[in-house]
């Protein structure tokens, strides 16, 4: 399987160019700072009395969601930066000529690139989230309801934006493809908020805009799934009482992502990956 | 020409990009074991032809066979590429790998038996003179070293066919000499070499046969002897009587070059008659040399000649 050679090259490049080292150091810095922050939560007092345990958990869960949003955002950015020049960079430097003249098909080459990038996304998302969750647990004894589901959603979000950037990389330079992928990521995030506002005001038109952006690029939908996995039941109950207005809050999810959405995302990734293979097949390096 | 099946064959192979014709109906056959020079000015379609042969670009029309595998049969062509080495004209290997690692990647891409890797890599590094820098990062290599590495990559696994696209463009005279030696060694080994070049002297020194391409078409193909036929002779003679030259014009077109008299378009078996005619006209002959047209002269005259 020659695709594996390509996948290993992607990972080796990230290691050699010290991307993994840089991410590890930055993650440790963030974890240290947020760990200190979490450790201060129990010291908060209200009218001289310490906060009840339930409230500490709610604050911790909120703080954790914000921290994890930063991680997922960094993951999306990093995935775009690494994926966007993957194929276009090889074509521009002529590396692709040397590789593709070997007995390797275009589909194998694109699959190898995707697999290598997917491994990087999984390593970073899984590693960073596990370290952060572990530190929070050690410092304050808080474990979110579904940590594994959370990691799975964040990895899926990274895979979605990475696959899109890889598709763009088959045709556009890394710079252009990267900017487009990030703009779309931003639009999807705003689209999620807009859809929430539509729901709050019971406006079908605006809600549909939100749903459409969620389907065109499902990153925000996946983020909401990740948020839901971090929310304690008490918090969801409080949010439900606040009514549909809370749907506009990008750091809140009122319900779990339905299975149909998860299947849709799998189909979306397969489709965009297939387009990347077709697009690169028609390209001359 | 050998009787073996051709290593490369093309029939009306063409590539167009919109209105631009990069290659217009290339038809040629390169016998296995030949060192074949593919000559042409910049933009003649040389690199396009190589990319088509390697499956890096799809032909607009026509067909080609590489080691017997047709370009149109993707799976068969892919398998055949395991036995083809290629040095691209413009390329860069992963700058964060060492030369040895680049070679390992290509051993794996070819599907070479792992037990052979070390020996093959050592061989390739030795041939191209990079053994001492094998573990340095490619990013720190000069252009010439990168080209040497590219040649090493093309030689891995002892391929039956090697395509070299301007292999000496970044090399100094020593490097060029080394590349010529490598090509001669490949020939001795029975490897077919397809040499894309615009460096005529290089082609003249190593190639058995040459095709001259221009504007996407082969305008002449043949052995160097066929291409560079000796159809002129230089004679150093003194004392030819006035008016004596007129009688010599029946041998060919006359031209004076200092002490030398050049007769163009003379058949080689008439040279003794020419010498006798000069002597009969009072001339004293000091030297007679057949004059070969240089590849450069031939190349330029072919490119200048108006074609339909």
Q: What is the mean pLDDT of chain A?
A: 90
Check A284 against B55: CB less than 8 A apart.
no
Predicted confidence at residue A244, as pLDDT, reads: 66
Q: Return the domain boundaries, chain A.
A: 3-281
Predicted confidence at residue B74, as pLDDT, reads: 92
Predicted confidence at residue B204, as pLDDT, reads: 83
Predicted confidence at residue A84, as pLDDT, reads: 96
- Same domain for B200 and B282, yes or no, is no
Higher-pLDDT residue of A264, B219: A264
In contact, B169 and B261? CB cutoff 8 Å:
no
Report whether pLDDT(A246) > 80. Answer: no
Q: For residue B81, which residues of chain A lie inside 8 Å, CB to CB?
A: 101-103
The total number of residues shown for chain B amounts to 308
Q: For residue B96, which residues of chain A lie inside 8 Å, CB to CB?
A: 12-13, 16-17
Predicted confidence at residue A206, as pLDDT, reads: 86
In contact, A139 and A38? CB cutoff 8 Å:
yes
Final residue in a domain of this structure, among B208, B227, B246 = B227
- A275: number of CA atoms within 13 Å, CB side? 13
- Same domain for B256 and B181, yes or no, is no
- Same domain for B98 and B223, yes or no, is yes
Share of chain B above pLDDT 90, in %: 51
Report whether pLDDT(B292) > 80. Answer: no
CA distance A147 to chain B (A): 37
Work out the burial of residue A247: count CB atoms within 10 Å of its CB; fewer than 13 is exposed, 13-18 middle, 19 or more buried.
buried
Q: For residue B82, which residues of chain A lie inside 8 Å, CB to CB?
A: 102-103
Q: How many domains does chain B have?
A: 2
Q: Is residue B300 part of a domain?
A: no
Q: For residue B55, which residues of chain A lie inside 8 Å, CB to CB?
A: 100-101
ipTM score for this prediction: 0.87
CATH of the domain at B260: 3.30.70
Q: What is the mean pLDDT of residues A127-142?
A: 92
Q: Tens digit of pLDDT for each residue in A189-234?
A: 898 888 888 888 888 888 888 888 888 999 999 999 999 999 887 7
Domain that holds residue B258: 232-292
- Same domain for B36 and B163, yes or no, is yes
CA distance B116 to chain A (A): 18
Predicted confidence at residue B1, as pLDDT, reads: 43
Q: What is the SS3 string spanning chain A?
A: CCHHHHHHHHHHHHHHCCHHHHHHHHHHHHHHHHHHHHHHHHHCEECCEECCHHHHHHHHHHHHHHHHHHHHHHHHHHHHHHHCCHHHHHHHHCHHHHHHCCCCCHHHHHHHHHHHHHHHHHHHHHHHHHHHHHHHHHHHCCCCCCHHHHHHHHHHHHHHHHHHHHHHHCCCCHHHHHHHHHHHHHHHHHHHHHHHHHHHCCCHHHHHHHHHHHHHCCHHHHHHHHHHHHCCHHHHHHHHHCCHHHHHCCCCCCCCCCHHHHHHHHHHHHHHHHHHHHHHHCCCC
Check A97 against B97: CB less than 8 A apart.
no
Beta bridge partners of B17: B20
- Same domain for B187 and B212, yes or no, is yes
Report whether pLDDT(B150) > 50. Answer: yes
Report whether pLDDT(A37) > 80. Answer: yes
Check B108 against A17: CB less than 8 A apart.
no
Q: What is the mean pLDDT of chain B?
A: 88
Confidence band, pLDDT 50/70/90 cuts, at residue A168: very high
In contact, B56 and B86? CB cutoff 8 Å:
no
- Same domain for B131 and B240, yes or no, is no
Task: Kindly state the helix (H) or strand (E) to which residue B17 belongs, with its residue range.
Answer: strand B6-17
Report whether pLDDT(B2) > 50. Answer: no
CATH of the domain at B71: 3.40.50.300
Q: What is the mean pLDDT of residues A77-83?
A: 94
Q: Is residue B58 part of a domain?
A: yes
Final residue in a domain of this structure, among B171, B196, B227 = B227
Q: What is the mean pLDDT of residues A2-21?
A: 93
- Same domain for B208 and B240, yes or no, is no
For residue B80, what is the nearest residue in chain A, using CA coordinates? A103
Report whether pLDDT(A247) > 70. Answer: no
B284 touches A at CB < 8 Å: no
Q: Strand order in B217-223's β-sheet?
A: B84-87, B161-165, B192-197, B35-39, B209-214, B217-223
- Same domain for B150 and B88, yes or no, is yes
- Same domain for B214 and B251, yes or no, is no
Tokens matching residue B190: 């029975």
- Same domain for B246 and B214, yes or no, is no
Lowest mean pLDDT among A57-61, A236-240, B232-236, B239-243: A236-240
In contact, A59 and A136? CB cutoff 8 Å:
no
Lowest mean pLDDT among A208-212, B63-67, B157-161, B186-190: A208-212
B216 touches A at CB < 8 Å: no
Q: How far apart are the first and last CA of chain A?
A: 22
- Same domain for B127 and B166, yes or no, is yes
Final residue in a domain of this structure, among B177, B205, B227 = B227
Predicted confidence at residue A144, as pLDDT, reads: 92
Share of chain A above pLDDT 70, in %: 98
Q: Tens digit of pLDDT for each residue in B157-169?
A: 999 999 999 898 8
Predicted confidence at residue B241, as pLDDT, reads: 79
Predicted confidence at residue B262, as pLDDT, reads: 86
- Same domain for B126 and B251, yes or no, is no
């Amino acid at each position: 399987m020659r695709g594996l050679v390509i996948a290993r090259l992607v990972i080796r490049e990230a290691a050699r160019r010290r991307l993994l080292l840089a991410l590890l150091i930055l993650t440790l810095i963030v974890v240290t700072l947020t760990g200190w922050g979490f450790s201060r939560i129990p010291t908060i007092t209200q009218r001289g009395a310490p906060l009840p345990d339930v409230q500490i958990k709610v604050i911790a869960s909120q703080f954790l969601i914000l921290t994890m949003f930063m991680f997922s955002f960094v993951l999306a950015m990093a995935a775009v930066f690494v994926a966007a020049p993957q194929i276009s960079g090889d074509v521009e430097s002529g590396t692709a000529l040397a590789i593709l003249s070997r007995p390797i098909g275009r589909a194998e080459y694109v699959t190898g690139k995707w697999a290598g990038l997917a491994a990087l996304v999984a390593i970073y998302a899984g590693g960073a989230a596990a370290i952060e969750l572990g530190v929070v647990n050690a410092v304050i004894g808080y474990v979110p309801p579904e940590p594994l589901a959370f990691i799975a959603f964040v990895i899926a979000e990274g895979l979605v934006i990475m696959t899109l950037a890889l598709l763009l990389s088959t045709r556009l330079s890394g710079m252009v493809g990267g900017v487009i992928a990030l703009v779309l990521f931003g639009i999807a995030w705003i689209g999620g908020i807009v859809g929430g506002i539509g729901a709050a005001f019971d406006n079908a038109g605006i809600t549909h805009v939100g749903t459409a952006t969620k389907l065109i690029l499902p990153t925000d939908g996946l983020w909401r799934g990740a948020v839901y996995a971090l929310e304690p039941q008490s918090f969801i109950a409080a949010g439900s009482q606040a009514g549909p207005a809370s749907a506009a809050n990008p750091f809140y999810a009122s319900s779990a992502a339905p299975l149909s959405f998860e299947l849709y995302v799998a189909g979306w990734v397969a489709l965009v990956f297939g387009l990347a293979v077709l697009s690169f097949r028609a390209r001359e390096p | 020409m050998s009787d073996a099946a051709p290593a490369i064959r093309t029939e009306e192979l063409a590539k167009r990009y919109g209105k631009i014709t990069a290659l217009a109906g290339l038809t040629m056959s390169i016998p296995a074991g030949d060192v074949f020079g593919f000559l042409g000015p910049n933009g003649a379609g040389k690199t396009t032809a190589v990319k088509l042969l390697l499956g890096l670009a799809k032909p607009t029309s026509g067909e080609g066979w590489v080691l017997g595998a047709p370009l149109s049969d993707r799976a068969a062509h892919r398998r055949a590429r395991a036995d083809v080495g290629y040095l691209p004209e413009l390329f860069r290997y992963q700058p964060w790998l060492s030369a040895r690692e680049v070679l390992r990647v290509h051993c794996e891409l070819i599907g070479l038996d792992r037990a052979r890797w070390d020996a093959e890599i050592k061989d390739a590094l030795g041939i191209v003179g990079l053994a001492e820098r094998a573990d340095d990062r490619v990013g720190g290599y000069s252009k010439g070293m990168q080209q040497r590495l590219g040649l090493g990559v093309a030689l891995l696994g002892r391929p039956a066919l090697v395509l070299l696209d301007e292999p000496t463009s970044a090399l100094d005279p020593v490097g060029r000499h080394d590349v010529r030696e490598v090509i001669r060694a490949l020939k001795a080994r029975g490897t077919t070499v397809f040499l894309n070049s615009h460096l005529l002297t290089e082609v003249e020194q190593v190639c058995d046969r040459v095709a001259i391409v221009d504007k996407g078409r082969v305008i002449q193909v043949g052995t160097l002897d066929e291409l560079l036929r000796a159809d002129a002779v230089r004679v150093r003679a003194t004392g030819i009587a006035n008016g004596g030259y007129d009688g010599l014009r029946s041998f060919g077109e006359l031209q004076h070059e200092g002490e030398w008299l050049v007769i163009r378009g003379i058949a080689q078996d008439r040279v003794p008659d020419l010498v006798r005619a000069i002597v009969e006209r009072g001339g004293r002959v000091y030297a007679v040399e057949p004059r070969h047209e240089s590849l450069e002269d031939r190349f330029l005259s072919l490119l200048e000649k108006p074609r339909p």
